[in-house]
Structure 1
Amino acid sequence: MDPINQTLVSEFLLLGLTDDPELQPLIFSLFLAMYLVTILGNLLITVAVISDSHLHTPMYFFLANLSITDICTSTTTIPKMLVDLQIQDHSITYIGCLSQICFVLIFGGLESFLLAAMSYDRYVAICYPLRYTVLMKPQLCAVLVLVSLLITTVNALIHSLTVLRLSFCTHLEIPHFFCELVQVIKLSCSDIFLNNLLMYSATTLFAGIPLAGIIFSYTQIVSSVMRIPSGDGRYKAFSTCGSHLSVVSLFYGTAFGLYMSSEVSDSSFKNVVASMMYVVIPQMLNPFIYSLRNREIQGALRHLLHNKLVFKLCS
């Protein structure tokens, strides 16, 4: 195949989940439903946290930011896929592909950092309850989110710029429903050593360090909780961490599944499904995990929905 310089590449072709026309309406309906549930669920969590003064705490501040991040992650990938299925045009422009890579990296990395910040919040709340308000000031929480966003944005821009230097072959089909960095790099005809080095280094940095922080936090939490004499006290302390632990397990579990799938399998379909489990499923399930396991969120949602119902009846 003759190489084409990146300046001549106008578009890529996203192969999606299947080319079977009989399955495409089912896939469209399934992804549309998941997207709407993701948007509605995370939007309700965000509005509930903003509208209820009882939830103006560091834990729920991070939760609201996590919900916004989940909305952005899903919006980066799913709408394009839905449009492609409707108009039967699976092409994506070169700039559009780079933009999708950039935003997926930004919001994926931000979610990892937010989960680490939430674990630190629980660590301070349980291990240093008397100093909680001093250590977890609103200014610190805002700085943590902004710095995390800045770091992930710089990382995403670096990856996008290194893709710009690549030359591509005539075979520009991406076996995916969105532009994933790994799959785009595989299409290159030029040297990709630098890209792979940056990719694995960033994965270690933006997944390994937050995960290490989460593990350290919960090690300290377990050690502190086990020193509580009463069983009710231990249960209450652990119950405040249950939702977060479930979300962490879902996020890192699907990410690890994606990594293992890409390492042990050459099947494009299996890799696509694994990626879907990483960029679609956690974002959809996170609101349910927090609303089902958290009484304060349940109360805020009931209050919010009740006020909306009363407003409609009065109007």
Structure 2
Amino acid sequence: MGTSERDLVVRTITDEADGVVAIELADPADGALTPWTPGAHLDLLLPNGLTRQYSLCGDVDDTSHYRIGVLREPRSRGGSEWLHTALAVGDRLRARGPRNNFALDDAAHHVFVAGGIGVTPMLPMLEAVRRRGGSWQMVYGGRTRAAMAFLGELPPEVEIVPQDEAGHPDLGRLLDDPKPGTLVYCCGPTGLIEAVQQRCAGWADPDAVRYELFAAPATDDDTGDQQPFEVELAHTGTSFVVGPGESILARALEAGADIVFDCEDGICGSCETPILDGRADHRDHVLTTAEQDEQRCLMICVSRSATPRLVLDL
């Protein structure tokens, strides 16, 4: 499933905190960019061959440029390192999107939990809720205050919790007695997201916690329980069998399908594919429980089939 690409030019690069830069990207011809909504991200196709997703954290009403925040992570596969060390104002980057797998839904009350660079999608979310006079709470944790980006853009009501000053955020106080109709949005390290999920495990609505991961959580190897199934690609009529330990994505690529993909861990949403027939065994971390139950699409990098045959819009 293809997604349109375009060139963007680097307009500014600004130091926002220790190890964090903000990058503004604009149309080379100064045209208006595609509108976006809070929670959306861009796919950047870097010259070093990597593709990385970065949350948009600017003003949703300003279509003159996109802004992203990038944490320099030397232990990564090189995406953030390249953006910090090789990128310059005036350079062009290939981009896809914006796409939104972390959309802000209406709620009686919003709770925002941000850890480190996970604050980026929260900035436009919080601004949207504040503009419409909504009820909200937010906590923002980080290693040190100096490493926490965009502090100057947050209202004083946000609870700032640098670990070296105050330890970890008090999630119990924030989440143990929720207001009716609360939605929780969390972005940050896997440990923070898991802690939030544990706190909210007893809530009636399984989709009350929305999260965006930087990396896939560790899982047990369950290939022994996987059954083979047939997949048909509707555009070509090609069929193949996906066996234990194989992915639909890998087999579809072997069959010549044109597919946009990146993480191969079920966390980025790039390979989302519509289902035409059959039911998916969802194993992603993008779709909500309700979206998975709708059986309209699946992430073909990790999900499998719950029926003997699956027909995909590929």
TM-score by length of 2: 0.23
TM-score by length of 1: 0.23
Choose between structure 1 and 2: higher strand proportion: 2
More relative contact order in 1 or in 2 (CA 8 Å, sep 6+)? 1
